[in-house]
């Protein structure tokens, strides 16, 4: 008999529902239960692939090529697992499958209605994910904030499932308490309103996670409990925590795992879980690191009004952390706006302050010349540099221009008329774009990559065959393989059919670490299981 936990958000977005859901799944697994996480995005977009970073932050990619929300990355990193499209849905994908059913006469002539059919479709999808992952407990995170029109149908799904299985369904509200007022105190009223909004949707939360910059104190815990018909033990303090991997342990201090199990009528199957001990030890280690490694990420800035959004590279940041911690270093990560270098080349000198530099993935022409300047500077000054996807492509452009002498070389994504299209779109991709088939059509998800012996890549992976996740339309153009190789570029990873370049590098006799990947290794890095290429990069950076 499966159990269901729903996590929804109150007061404002960005309160950490994703990390909370992942942490809950983690602690329940420590008690011996198989858990999985599902993310519901309330957008009408069928997946996150068609949204830009300003709208949606990073697009995370699963092994099956699903383009989804960055919270899916948190789930994979916390649970050290690989999820599939069954664990992700949007309003668009729910409607799409419902309408496909209707068109095939699945409903046998009945009138198909928003309620109950949409929430029932949601429940069916949750059950499919539960079966596929063979999970005892499914934790489903409902995106957005309660009170928004767009997640009402998902709350309705919770109400219906609770009605069907009253003993098997829990609802957890992750809410926010502002630190405000003349006496600077945590204010509970917005959270009380959020709970009333849930009440008006026919729901009462079983737990409230009180997110705030401070721990929750007794009077305020009592206030929420008294005003919202709750037990005060079910109001959980969840103060800000810089080290997100510590959050499962913080929840355990509040005995959240045991409290959840009790409400679900479950007994802990395991008590002194080994992984929990190792996790705890690792957190202690990380908190006491004093050697530092400085990594600069040369990307483009995503501005929305007066604010700069840093969410777009979250998996890269986490991958740098995992690798640095594993080597005993505290990572200091710096943001560099590549457009600054286009305005003022002297600024490139600052790159000398970093142990290593990353050129992350991206699309379009903004900031590209600045990134190319940064690559040139790092190559010439022997600063370790790691290019991810667009990063690899721009390393090839830089090398073609400045080493192979192909003046004006470019990617056809930026300059379709370049004389030297060293990065070009595949024929099959051209056709898709002509027909405006943009959604879910890039080279996506896992592709096999063969690693050449005697290279940095092989030193890192220690094997000849790996699978890595992709998300791009452009590739290194085969017409230029020879000239690139003649000038020193090594293709250390190639696709299974031998036709596509997956990893490029320079010999370490020339440069300590000049390596780019056409795929996104950051999507496979996990807490306590860092990605080998990131480990190698950090190793050379600290050297
Ligand atoms: N814009 C490039 C392409 O589509 C790189 C994409 C990326 O970095 N994810 O090929």
Closest residue to atom 3 of ligand 1, CA basis: 472
Q: What is the whole-number distance in angstroms between the Cα of residue 442 and the centre of ligand 1?
A: 9
Q: Which long-range contacts (CB under 8 A, 24 or more apart) does 48-54 make?
A: 48/90, 49/439, 49/440, 49/442, 49/471, 50/438, 50/439, 53/302, 53/309, 53/311, 53/312, 54/302, 54/303, 54/304, 54/309
Known active-site residue 529: no
Q: Give the model's confidence band at 310: pLDDT under 50 very low, under 70 low, under 90 confident, else very high.
A: low
Is the pLDDT assigned to residue 183 strictly greater than 90? no
Q: Give the model's confidence band at 52: pLDDT under 50 very low, under 70 low, under 90 confident, else very high.
A: confident
Average pLDDT over residues 20-43: 97
Dist CA 16 CA 23 (whole Å) = 10
Q: Is 469 in the pocket of ligand 1 (CB under 6 A)?
A: no
- For 209, phi then psi, to 5°, come to -95, 115
Is the pLDDT assigned to residue 528 strictly greater than 80? yes
Average pLDDT over residues 11-34: 95
Q: What is the percent of the chain with per-residue pLDDT over 70, rounded to a whole number?
A: 99
Q: What is the whole-number distance in angstroms between the Cα of residue 411 and the centre of ligand 1?
A: 10
Q: What is the whole-number distance in angstroms between the Cα of residue 474 and the centre of ligand 1?
A: 6
pLDDT the model gives residue 300: 85
Out of 3.30.360.10, 3.30.70.1070, 3.40.50.300, 3.30.70.3270, select the CATH number for domain 3-213+230-283. 3.40.50.300
What are the DSSP calls for 214-263, one per residue? SPPPHHHHHHHHHHTT--GGGEEEEE--SSGGGHHHHHHHTTHHHHHHHH
Q: Give the model's confidence band at 272: pLDDT under 50 very low, under 70 low, under 90 confident, else very high.
A: confident
Burial letters 210-224, b for 16+ CB under 10 A, else e:
bbbeeebeeebbebb
Is the pLDDT assigned to residue 387 strictly greater than 90? yes
From the number of C-beta atoms within 10 Å of its C-beta (0-12, 13-18, 19+), residue 272 rates as exposed
pLDDT the model gives residue 51: 87
- Dig out the tokens for 259 from the structure: 């409290």
- For 238, phi then psi, to 5°, come to -140, 70
pLDDT the model gives residue 328: 97
- pLDDT tens profile 186-201: 999 999 999 999 999 9
Of residues 472, 522, 531, 536, which has the active-site annotation? 522
pLDDT the model gives residue 399: 98
Residue to probe by mutation, ligand 1, list 387, 390, 426, 517, most atoms within 8 Å of CB? 390
Average pLDDT over residues 23-35: 97
Q: What is the whole-number distance in angstroms between the Cα of residue 422 and the centre of ligand 1?
A: 14
Of residues 8, 389, 404, 449, which has the active-site annotation? 389
- Dig out the tokens for 270 from the structure: 């395991």
* Global pTM exceeds 0.85: yes
Known active-site residue 350: no
Domain ranges of the chain: 3-213+230-283, 290-542
Q: Is 293 in the pocket of ligand 1 (CB under 6 A)?
A: no
Cα-Cα end-to-end distance for the chain: 53
Please answer whether residues 457 and 451 qualify as being in contact, where contact means their C-beta atoms are separated by less than 8 angstroms.
Answer: yes
Is the pLDDT assigned to residue 57 strictly greater than 90? no
Q: Is 471 in the pocket of ligand 1 (CB under 6 A)?
A: yes
Q: What is the whole-number distance in angstroms between the Cα of residue 491 and the centre of ligand 1?
A: 18
Average pLDDT over residues 25-36: 96
Dist CA 30 CA 10 (whole Å) = 27
Q: Of 517, 521, 520, 523, which Cα lies nearest the Cα of 492?
A: 517
290-542 carries CATH number 3.40.50.880: yes
Domains 3-213+230-283 and 290-542 share a fold: yes
Q: Is 413 in the pocket of ligand 1 (CB under 6 A)?
A: yes
Is the pLDDT assigned to residue 233 strictly greater than 80? yes
Closest residue to atom 1 of ligand 1, CA basis: 363
Known active-site residue 37: no
Please answer whether residues 429 and 455 qualify as being in contact, where contact means their C-beta atoms are separated by less than 8 angstroms.
Answer: no
Is the pLDDT assigned to residue 180 strictly greater than 90? no
Q: Is 389 in the pocket of ligand 1 (CB under 6 A)?
A: yes
Residue for token digits 């379709």?
A: 416
DSSP helix/strand/coil, 346: helix
pLDDT the model gives residue 184: 85
- pLDDT tens profile 409-446: 999 999 999 999 999 998 888 888 888 888 888 899 99
Q: Is 474 in the pocket of ligand 1 (CB under 6 A)?
A: yes
Tell me the pLDDT of the chain averaged across its residues: 95
Closest residue to atom 8 of ligand 1, CA basis: 361
- pLDDT tens profile 150-159: 999 999 999 9
Instruction: Note the maximum CA span of the chain.
Output: 75
Average pLDDT over residues 284-310: 86
pLDDT the model gives residue 14: 85
Q: Of 322, 177, 67, 190, which Cα lies nearest the Cα of 56?
A: 67
Q: What is the percent of the chain with per-residue pLDDT over 90, rounded to a whole number?
A: 88
pLDDT the model gives residue 306: 67
Dist CA 75 CA 138 (whole Å) = 12
């Amino acid at each position: 008999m499966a159990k269901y936990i729903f996590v929804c958000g109150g007061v404002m977005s960005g309160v950490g529902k994703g990390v909370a859901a992942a942490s809950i799944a983690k602690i329940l697994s420590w008690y011996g239960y198989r858990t999985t996480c599902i993310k519901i995005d309330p957008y009408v977009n069928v997946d996150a692939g068609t949204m830009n970073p300003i709208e949606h932050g990073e697009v995370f990619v699963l092994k099956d090529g699903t383009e989804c929300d960055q919270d899916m990355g948190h789930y994979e990193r916390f649970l050290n697992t690989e999820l599939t499209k069954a664990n992700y849905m949007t309003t668009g994908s729910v409607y799409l499958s419902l309408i496909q059913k209707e068109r095939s006469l699945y409903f046998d002539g009945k009138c198909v209605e928003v309620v109950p059919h949409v929430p029932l479709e949601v429940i069916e999808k949750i059950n499919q994910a539960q079966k596929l992952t063979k999970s005892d407990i499914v934790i489903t995170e409902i995106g957005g904030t309660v009170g928004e029109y767009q997640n009402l149908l998902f709350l309705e799904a919770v109400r219906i499932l609770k009605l069907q299985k009253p003993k098997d369904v829990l609802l957890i509200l992750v809410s926010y308490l502002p630190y405000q007022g003349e006496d600077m105190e945590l204010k509970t009223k917005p959270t009380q309103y959020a709970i009333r909004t849930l009440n008006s949707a026919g729901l009462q939360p079983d737990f409230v996670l009180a997110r705030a910059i401070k721990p929750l104190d007794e009077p305020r815990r009592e206030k929420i409990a008294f005003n919202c018909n709750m037990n005060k033990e079910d109001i959980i303090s969840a103060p800000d925590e810089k080290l997100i991997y510590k959050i499962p342990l913080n929840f355990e201090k509040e005995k959240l795992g045991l409290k959840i199990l009790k409400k679900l009528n479950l007994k802990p199957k395991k008590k002194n879980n080994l992984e929990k001990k190792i996790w705890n030890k690792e957190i202690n280690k990380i908190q006491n690191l004093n050697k530092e490694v400085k990594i600069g990420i040369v990307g483009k800035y995503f501005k929305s009004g007066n604010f700069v959004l840093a969410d777009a590279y979250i998996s890269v940041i986490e991958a740098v952390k995992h690798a640095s911690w594993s080597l005993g270093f505290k990572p200091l990560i710096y943001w560099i706006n590549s457009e600054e270098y286009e305005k003022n080349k002297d600024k490139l000198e600052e790159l000398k302050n970093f142990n290593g530099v990353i050129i992350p993935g991206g699309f379009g022409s903004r900031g590209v010349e600045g990134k190319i300047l940064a690559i040139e500077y790092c190559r010439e000054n022997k600063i370790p540099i790691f290019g991810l996807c667009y990063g690899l492509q721009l390393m090839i452009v830089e090398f073609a221009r400045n080493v192979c002498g192909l003046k004006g070389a470019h990617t056809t994504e930026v300059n379709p008329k370049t004389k030297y299209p060293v990065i070009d779109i595949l024929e099959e991709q051209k056709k898709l774009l002509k027909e405006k088939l943009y959604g879910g059509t890039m080279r996506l998800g896992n592709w096999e990559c063969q690693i050449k012996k005697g290279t940095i890549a092989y030193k890192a992976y220690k094997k000849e065959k790996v699978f890595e996740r992709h998300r791009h339309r452009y590739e290194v153009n085969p017409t230029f393989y020879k000239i690139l190789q003649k000038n020193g570029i090594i293709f250390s990873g190639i696709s299974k059919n031998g036709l596509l370049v997956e990893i490029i590098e320079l010999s370490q006799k020339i440069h300590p670490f000049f390596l780019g990947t056409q795929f996104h290794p950051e999507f496979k890095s996990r807490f306590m299981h860092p990605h080998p290429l990131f480990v190698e990069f950090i190793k050379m950076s600290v050297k």
